[in-house]
Amino acid sequence: MRNLTEQNLTDAVIAKFANSTDPRFKQIMTSLVRHLHDFVREVELTEAEWFEGIKFLTATGQKCDDERQEFILLSDTLGISMLVDAINHRMPSGATESTVLGPFYRAGAPEIEMGGTIAQTDDGDPAYVSGRVTSPDGKPVPGALLDIWQTAPNGLYETQDQDQPDYNLRGQLHTDKDGRYAFRTVIPVSYPVPTDGPVGRMLKAMGRHPMRPAHIHFVITAPGYERLATHLFAEGDKYLDSDAVFGVKNSLVVKFEQNTSQDMAKKLGFKKAPFYTTHFDFGLKPAA
Amino acid sequence: MRNLTEQNLTDAVIAKFANSTDPRFKQIMTSLVRHLHDFVREVELTEAEWFEGIKFLTATGQKCDDERQEFILLSDTLGISMLVDAINHRMPSGATESTVLGPFYRAGAPEIEMGGTIAQTDDGDPAYVSGRVTSPDGKPVPGALLDIWQTAPNGLYETQDQDQPDYNLRGQLHTDKDGRYAFRTVIPVSYPVPTDGPVGRMLKAMGRHPMRPAHIHFVITAPGYERLATHLFAEGDKYLDSDAVFGVKNSLVVKFEQNTSQDMAKKLGFKKAPFYTTHFDFGLKPAA
């Protein structure tokens, strides 16, 4: 293993994994090294470009902290997250399509009552979201846990914004015996992914906008079913066809309908009309 | 750009680079995305494996500081650095082969006189390294700058070791009018790359040892010539055929000859014999 060349270096590196005791790790690293080497050969990467890459990856790691995950953002904006999602969630008919988890999930959101609100302030257009969680054949899934999060009307998640209350617009909710769920929130807005880090610089250099169409995040779990990470997107959003992270699926786009009934507003817990409603039934895929 | 699938997602991501104003950046990112997506499809990366990758890259970035570059180490140990080196230094006959820069280069090393020492302590076996810097046709290159660094006999670079003096075993030296250089140091030793970070964990999982054969680093620069980053490796080292970073070339292996002359030791500036000598002529490639 001396005098390695452009031609035989890749095989020499892969031969070094021969002693790996984990066959899956060996398979993954072999494929990764082959593709990364092919990339370097294909573009004939210069030393200056290699060093820009090193600096970019270093800055991406160093931008991460408890509330910021720049490598997930990089994966999202290069379509890798959606590709992993597509490969891992080949959905049967009747199951809801999945989409990116994104970098803003936060565990420990407060549990709300059926019909309760995740909005801790009066900002934004009030919305009522309801529906059922079912198996692919339409049977209700009682006791499913919905973990829900979204940005405020200013386009920021509470972890990005010191002016929002802790856990604002995050909540957890269980379905009832008929698989039903309902909660109050505000209509989501489109917003830019964070652009003050390496990924923002990359998007700018690519001539790409950083916007995501308005959406509400859901992670739904229930015993006997696969975890579902998905969004509901707001119909009419101008970024539905150019999502910076490639996550939009038509089956996940919902319409928020205006309702002007003051009686209904009070009954649902809103201060006044108008408010907006949408309805969506989630289908879970049975666990393998 | 909705309802993207395993099959059409890659093209959708690449289409997003259409507005990039830098054709080279676009070329690089297009190739990189194609190969990364092909990798994900080929191994059918699971969500858990993807997240391990995210955590690994994040930890690698966060291990970096002013004196530690874990991403360069990752590039080195996956053979990417040597591949970039091979592609960028297709050497004409008479030019010295290059090898990895490595993560331990430090700018600003003290300049020494001809025949001076880079060793600031008495540890190790004293060595005298000398030779010439020439063009490929053998003409001397006067005034070439040699930037030199190596580990101490304990296997640590001074930046890794609080007990060594600042800039120990680092120095800069100019060739004389005949292209000659000479300096004193200690015989280099084999040593492990740092194993206390993510790359160390990766090497362990691959069943690989972390050792590099003994070597002295050189970066040589001169007006009108390409920068040369290379090593001199010590003949007989047991790791010459299994360098953790794939950097060994036979043309760079030198023998350190023992010399027992007390007179010669004093003349060269050593306290006593025995000492060791080696001779190497560096050939620089004219700049394009």
Provide the shortest C-alpha distance from residue A223 to chain B (in Å).
19
Give the distance between the most distant pair of CA atoms in chain A.
82
CB A119 within 8 A of CB A186: yes
Q: Which two tokens stand for residue A149?
A: 């999060």
User: CA-CA distance, B46 to A195, in Å (whole number)?
Assistant: 28
Contact residues on chain B for A84, CB-CB shorter than 8 A: 40, 45-47, 50
Is A92 inside any structural domain?
yes
Give the ipTM of the model, two decimals please.
Answer: 0.88
- Number of domains chain A contains: 2
Residues A155 and A235 both lie in one domain: yes
Residues A134 and A32 both lie in one domain: no
Q: Do A41 and B87 touch (CB under 8 A)?
A: yes
Is B69 inside any structural domain?
no
Residue of chain A nearest B205, judged by CA positions = A20
Residues A116 and A182 both lie in one domain: yes
| Each residue's pLDDT tens digit, B176-217 | 999 999 999 999 999 999 999 999 999 999 989 999 999 999
Q: Compare CB distances from B40 to A42, A49, A84 and report the shortest one's residue.
A: A84
Would you state the pLDDT for residue B131? 98
For residue A257, list its beta bridge partners.
A277
Residues B80 and B37 both lie in one domain: no
The residue among A116, A201, A191, A126 whose CA lies nearest residue A160 is: A191
Q: Do A17 and B206 touch (CB under 8 A)?
A: yes
Rounded to the nearest 5°, which phi and psi values hold at B220?
-120, 125
Residues B274 and B142 both lie in one domain: yes
β B170-174/B211-212 pair status: unpaired
Residues A13 and A122 both lie in one domain: no
Residues B271 and B166 both lie in one domain: yes
Residues B14 and B109 both lie in one domain: no
Alpha carbon separation from B274 to A203, B104, B175, B279 (Å, rounded): 61, 30, 27, 17
Whole-prediction pTM value?
0.87
Is B55 inside any structural domain?
no
| Each residue's pLDDT tens digit, B47-99 | 999 999 999 999 999 999 988 899 999 999 999 999 999 999 887 788 999 99
Is B132 inside any structural domain?
yes
Residues B244 and B116 both lie in one domain: yes
User: CA-CA distance, B29 to B23, in Å (whole number)?
Assistant: 10
Q: Compare CB distances from A9 to B27, B82, B206 and report the shortest one's residue.
A: B82
Q: Which domain holds residue A19?
A: 1-45
Would you state the pLDDT for residue B229? 95
Residue among B30, B37, B50 with most chain A CBs within 10 A, to mutate: B50
> Where are any strands of DSSP class E within A150-274?
170-174, 180-186, 191-192, 211-212, 215-221, 228-234, 253-254, 257-259
Is B274 inside any structural domain?
yes
User: CA-CA distance, A121 to A132, in Å (whole number)?
Assistant: 27
Residues A87 and A225 both lie in one domain: yes
pLDDT one digit per residue (tens) for chain A, 288 residues:
788 989 999 999 999 988 888 999 999 999 999 999 999 999 999 999 999 999 999 999 999 998 889 999 999 999 999 999 999 988 778 899 999 998 899 999 999 999 999 999 999 999 999 999 999 889 999 999 999 999 999 999 999 999 999 999 999 999 999 999 999 999 999 999 999 999 999 999 898 999 999 999 999 999 999 999 999 999 999 999 999 999 999 999 999 999 999 999 999 999 999 999 999 999 999 998
Residues B40 and B180 both lie in one domain: no
Contact residues on chain B for A210, CB-CB shorter than 8 A: none
Q: Do A9 and B246 touch (CB under 8 A)?
A: yes
User: CA-CA distance, A62 to B69, in Å (whole number)?
Assistant: 12
Q: Do B20 and A205 touch (CB under 8 A)?
A: yes
Is B217 inside any structural domain?
yes
Is B137 inside any structural domain?
yes
Residues A124 and A41 both lie in one domain: no
Is A288 inside any structural domain?
no
User: For residue A255, what is the domain's CATH number?
Assistant: 2.60.130.10
